[in-house]
């Protein structure tokens, strides 16, 4: 699919997708003879993972590392290596859970504020 369809299917802007390509976390699967980016369904899935990381405040470096861990777990059959990768994945999961909890607290405070405003 072309970048426009990918943007439409993910709800992300063309600029964001191009940026992810430029920094290397979502390189296009291929390019047309005219130089247009072409993406696969696997790229769409990868972009959805990236999109889900963003609200939790993961940096591009963290995203890059986490995607590398996920890629390696899908490809690596070495048990010792997989254990190390799973440990890294568990650390990212713990971070995501912690950040989500903070977001829930912030949302609760926002709801309280909205309640105050609706009293008037």
pLDDT tens-digit series, residues 50-100: 999 999 999 999 999 999 999 999 886 677 788 899 999 999 999 999 999
Q: Are 36 and 79 in a shared domain?
A: no
Q: Are 75 and 48 in a shared domain?
A: no
Distance, in Å, from the CA atom of 61 to the CA atom of 50, rounded to the nearest integer, reads 12
pLDDT of residue 82: 87
Domains in the chain, number = 2
Q: Are 72 and 14 in a shared domain?
A: no
Q: 84 is in which domain, residue-wise?
A: 57-120
Which CATH number covers residue 31? 1.10.1660.10
**Does 46 score more than 80 pLDDT?**
yes
Q: Are 62 and 89 in a shared domain?
A: yes
Q: Which residue has the tokens 């920094």?
A: 23
pLDDT of residue 77: 66
Q: Are 49 and 76 in a shared domain?
A: no
What band does 117 get if pLDDT is binned at 50, 70 and 90? Answer: very high
CB 5 within 8 Å of CB 36: no
Q: Which of these three, 15, 32, 56, is where a domain ends?
A: 56
Q: Are 48 and 86 in a shared domain?
A: no
pLDDT of residue 22: 92
Q: Are 62 and 118 in a shared domain?
A: yes
Tell me if the pTM is above 0.85.
no
CB 14 within 8 Å of CB 44: no
Long-range contacts of 70-74 (CB under 8 A, 24+ apart): none
Distance, in Å, from the CA atom of 120 to the CA atom of 116, rounded to the nearest integer, reads 8
């Amino acid at each position: 699919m072309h970048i426009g369809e990918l943007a439409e299917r993910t709800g992300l802007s063309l600029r964001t997708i191009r940026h992810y390509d430029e920094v290397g976390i979502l390189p296009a699967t291929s390019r047309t003879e005219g130089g247009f980016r072409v993406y696969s369904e696997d790229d769409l899935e990868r972009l959805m993972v990236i999109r889900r990381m963003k609200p939790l405040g993961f940096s591009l470096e963290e995203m890059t590392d986490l995607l590398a861990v996920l890629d390696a777990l899908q490809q690596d059959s070495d048990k010792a290596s997989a254990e190390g990768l799973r440990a890294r994945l568990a650390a990212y999961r713990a971070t995501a859970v912690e950040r989500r909890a903070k977001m829930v607290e912030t949302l609760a405070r926002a709801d309280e504020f909205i309640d105050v405003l609706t009293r008037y």
